[in-house]
Chains A and B, each alone.
Chain A
Amino acid sequence: MTDPSTVLPAIYSFPPLYTRQPNAIIRRQQIASWIDLVLAYCKSQNFWCMTLEGVPVDEYNKSRISIFINSEIQRSVPQVFVEEIWSKMCEEGKAMGTETGRKDSSQYYVLWRTLDSWASLVLQWFENSGKLNQVVTIYELAQGDETADWEFHGMPEPLLAHCIKPLCQRNRATLIKDERGKPVATKVV
């Protein structure tokens, strides 16, 4: 388990960052700083998803601490302000609620690349590995040995399906759904 304060820049230990600033201009700057911190933390630790409280979610369900709590300087961001930060992140396309893109979700995907940028990375993999015109399951993409060196390896499958949607819109791909309507595979041309 990596403590956020060891991987994040000095501003993470700046005590007033944890109090919602009354001055609107400063607050905008403050929220922008928080967004940068969340993105940087998730990217460095390969976290794809966080709870509303800022606790990283991963498959092993290890207990982790929230990024919004800094025990070293004994400060934490009030929940109301945390929600404000999440809504701003969603607005900027840097986060996405896990439940069909709703804003007030209990968990959020953290997008340190935009969906479009992920889409082109996935497309690049398909082109590089000669998998065009073949059916590839989402599980293969996320967990398979062939994507191990790629940044999207380990991405939660529903998020990965979201990343393929821009390709569908460009008619480069199609998503294949199972009986319950969950996307399970894709074919890219």
Chain B
Amino acid sequence: MKRYGLAAFDGKQKNERYQGTSTAVLDRQSIELDEQLAVFQERLLQFAKKHNSEIKANPEFRSKFMRMCTSIGIDPLSLFDKNEHLFNLNDFYYEVCVKIVEICRQTKDMNGGIVSFDELEKGFFKGLNVTIADLEKSIDMLKSLDGGFDVFEIRGKKFLRSIPNELTGDQTKILEICSILGYASISLLRANLDWKPVRSRAVLNEMVANGLLWIDEQADAETLYWDPSWITMK
């Protein structure tokens, strides 16, 4: 339809031009900022290298330096370079520890406190140059805090459990079954593990109460118990 009045000035064309200009300006600004940030980070690294021993030796200085990094939005983790032994090497792992604890707290309601190492590495530590081995070492350190962190394996894949109560052998077996199809059920457990329904039901319900499994009552034959890590792994 034709446009009349003010609309006849063809807002689109004008808007496009405005948009072009504004994106150009914004691009330039963001490039400038990026450059500045890069320069600043470089300087910070140089500073860290130059005063490495001082930073290492003086814990107060170190904590202040770290605080400065976080306050300008630089993840201290990105400043670490394992190979050049910047700072005390352990600090790197401490930072990883903090991050892991944060992730566990954020996702606890969703997955009942169980996160796979794959999820951690690919989902949360992306681009930070942190390997699975680094994660394991950090979690080793966490264990000494007695915070209930634990690593266990299901079909060759490593998982981190951040809830304080220990997983029983039965629960671990159920998670094993879940890692195949995404869910477990009383009949599946009977077929695979030869468990009696009473035992299965008890363990499954306990896991639901702990938030480890979600129930699905709309399947054809019976209630299914789903492992929420299915959502991210799909």
Contact = CB atoms under 8 A, between A and B. Distances in A.
Task: Note whether A and B contact each other (Cβ less than 8 A).
Answer: yes
Given A26-B109, A145-B3, A16 B216 contact: yes
A129 B18 CA distance: 14
Interface of B: 1, 3, 6-7, 11-12, 15, 109-110, 112, 183, 208-211, 214-219, 224, 226, 228, 230-232, 234
The residue among B6, B12, B218 with the most chain A CB atoms within 10 A of its own CB is B218
Nearest to A77: B218
Interface of A: 10-11, 13-19, 21-23, 25-26, 28-30, 74-76, 129-130, 144-146, 148-149
Contacts of B110: 26, 29
A16 B109 contact: no
Contact of B211 (A14, A15, A26): A26
B218 A15 contact: yes
The dominant DSSP class at the B interface is mixed
A129 B8 CA distance: 13
A16 B211 CA distance: 13
B35 to A, nearest CB: 32
Contacts of A17: 214
A148 B208 CA distance: 49
B11 A15 contact: no
Nearest to A76: B218
The residue among A11, A21, A23, A74 with the most chain B CB atoms within 10 A of its own CB is A23
B1 A74 contact: no
